[in-house]
Structures are given as C-alpha cells and as structure tokens.
Amino acid sequence: MLDGRVEIIKTVRATPVVLRALVHGVDDAGLRRRPAAGEWAIIEVVGHLADTEERALGRVRRMLAEDDPQLEDNLTPIGRAFYAASALLCVPHSLSEEIGLALGAQAGEQRLREVATAAGFRRFRRAAQTPFNLIYEARP
C-alpha cells in the first residue's frame, strides 16, 4: 500500500513540477477554457490544488504544534462542501490513480486508521464530530 511518509513527501514535492510540465506550452486561453459547461478549466483545477494544499499545510502545522488542536473552523458549511467535493471529485480521481486508495470522506474510520498506521502514524483518534463531519487526528 503506502511505503510510508518518505513516498508521501516525494509525491508532495513532485506535484508542482508535474503540474508545470503538464501545462507547459498551454496559452492563457487554453488554461482558462472549460472543456464543458459545469467543468473546471485547467487554471481552476490548479488553483484549487494550491488553495487546498495551503489550507491543509496550515492545519497540519497547527496539529503538530498543539497538544490538543481544536479544528472547529472546519465544522461549518464549508466542511459540508468539502465532503461533497470529496465524493464528486477526489474519490473518482483517486480511483483513476495507480494506488487508487479512494480515501475520501466516505472511507470510514477503520480504513483511515489502517492507512494512517501503514504510513507510520502511531496515534489515531476522532478529534471532533458533527452531524456532517468527522475530523480525525493522526500523529507520529
């Protein structure tokens, strides 16, 4: 499954290089063109990836720095939108990849615990819960 944190770090570091290579030579009009009504343009997909990574990095830094991090800022209507995005975008995309874990919001606590453990995390807990969100914390 996962070869551990080293592989994850390699992937995260390689992503900007891969994205640059994929869009190299595409003009501005091509970057902004939506392939069909309701679909995202290349520039929107890349922007989404950058925004999501930035938010996630901030949360990861906070979770590592605090003994008992509170994640209430995710327990909002935007949290519900993230769940929907996970179901509609992230899970199908993950299934198309070689590893294909499809660990979207629908994966379930036991499966997420298994993957976190395989990645080298020893502590895993449900940090918060609302009718719409489950927030898990994984620590080394």
Report residue 29's pLDDT band, with 50, 70 and 90 as the boundaries: very high
Question: Looking at the predicted structure, is the pLDDT value of residue 72 above 90?
Answer: no
% of the chain surpassing 70 pLDDT: 68
- Surface-to-core class of residue 31, CB atoms within 10 Å of its CB (0-12 exposed, 13-18 middle, 19+ buried): middle
The most confident of the ranges 13-27, 46-60, 78-92, 120-134 is: 13-27
3-state SS, one letter per residue, for the chain? CCCCHHHHHHHHHHHHHHHHHHHCCCCHHHHHCCCCCCCCCHHHHHHHHHHHHHHHHHHHHHHHHCCCCCCHHHCCHHHHHHHHHHHHHHHHHHHHCCCCCCCCCCCCHHHHHHHHHHCCCCEEEEEEECCCCEEEEEEC
State residue 27's pLDDT score.
93
What domain range includes position 23? Answer: 5-139
Report residue 35's pLDDT band, with 50, 70 and 90 as the boundaries: confident
- Those residues whose C-beta lies under 8 Å from the C-beta of residue 24, and which sit 6 or more positions away, are none
Question: Looking at the predicted structure, is the pLDDT value of residue 2 above 50?
Answer: no
Report d(CA 133, CA 33) in Å as an integer: 34
Structurally, the chain folds into a number of domains equal to 1
Question: Looking at the predicted structure, is the pLDDT value of residue 1 above 50?
Answer: no
